[in-house]
Amino acid sequence: MAEAFIVEAARTAGGRRNGRLSGWHPVDLGALALNAIVERTGIDPAAIEDVIMGCVGQAGEQGLHIGRNAVLASKLPESVPAVSIDRQCGSSQQAVQFAAQAVLSGSQDVVLAAGVESMSRVPMGTTGTWTAELTPGSPMSQGLLDRYPGIIFSQFEGAELIARKHGFSRADLDAFALESHRRAATATQAGAFDREIIPVPIETPEGSELHVRDEGIRYDASLESIGSVKLIKEGGVISAASSSQICDGSSAVLVVSEQALKVHNLTPIARIHGLTVTAGDPVVMLEEPLFATERALKRAGLRIDDIDLYEVNEAFAPVPLAWLKHLGADPAKLNVNGGAIALGHPLGASGAKLMATLIHALKARGKKYGLQTMCEGGGVANVTIVEAL
């Protein structure tokens, strides 16, 4: 039976909005991740059969096929094709899954999955905003309106609905946010991210340096400081402090076949054990990882207790909290090095970014199985299960 292996997984450290990475054009930031994978593995770049690049804001500097543009801006030869995909926040996790599927099918042997997002230079909403009625330029169509009359699809509203459904208070969410910062700070100070981070050259007022630390971590965070942040919605429970941070970054994962390991003298760091994507309620929207995980575990013949570490994207604090509650999962295994509340959520880059963090955390702890899942716009969720080698 065919198998798909991960040889390398890496990411840039996150940059805050208008922060340390905002001077990088997203095409070049994506190219940087592609180059890093080639350099780290030593693979002949001409052997790469496809680049699958996730990006959510495919407009402006990220428009006109950012995947191909990143290849052309990189050290890869012109002969390497590319495709740009958008599965919202799960875009580069889906890129990893598409790469694995290509390898498992036997149609390709070496596929580079990647993601990029400059939320500083291509802000959220650039590609469109939802309205509750037919408005020129809105994604809302007559067909959508007929099925969902008067509905504005909103991740913020979906997060509030999840908090209400599962009984989470603001205090619960603020406590989770604080733990995200504490874990991220501890991991950074211990060098836990060093192996996965791609250094990015930047210019600062003090001169040239390398960006190697996630910029959004609040080392002095407290319940008092988090609790002082204004709520996003009057009468709600979610604030910007219990939500993922706007972030710039890129990431990449090299997926290959067993034959490619031999031909190119590569050493795998993980094996793909399961691939799942499901969809559900587009209004609550962000709850689908709960149900997608159940299906993924069943397909893989595993129980939640068999999984050693989980990466559940911290789009909003209610999402991983609801996931823990629904699955009966162990909080000590969740986002052990912090999550997007502290580290940032560079949309299209987050899927491959979390995969890099998950695999390196598994290897650092001598653990076996890892599970990654993302909530995504439209009520979709990806789940990837890997086995560290």
Point out the residues that are catalytic. Answer: 89, 345, 375
Q: Name which of 91, 95, 69 is nearest 6 in CA terms.
A: 95
The 3-state DSSP class for residue 122 equals coil
Q: Name which of 301, 320, 303, 311 is nearest 362 in CA terms.
A: 311
- Whether residue 21 contacts residue 249, with contact meaning beta carbons closer than 8 Å, is answered with yes
C-alpha distances in Å from residue 76, one per residue of 39, 57, 82, 136: 11, 24, 11, 41
Residue with tokens 């922060």: 19
- Count of CB atoms within 10 A of residue 228's CB? 11
322, two tokens: 């609801």
Residue type, 260: A
165 Cβ neighbours under 8 A, 6+ residues apart: 284, 287, 322
Cα–Cα distance for residue pair 179/103, rounded to 1 Å: 38
293, two tokens: 């995980």
88, two tokens: 């919202």
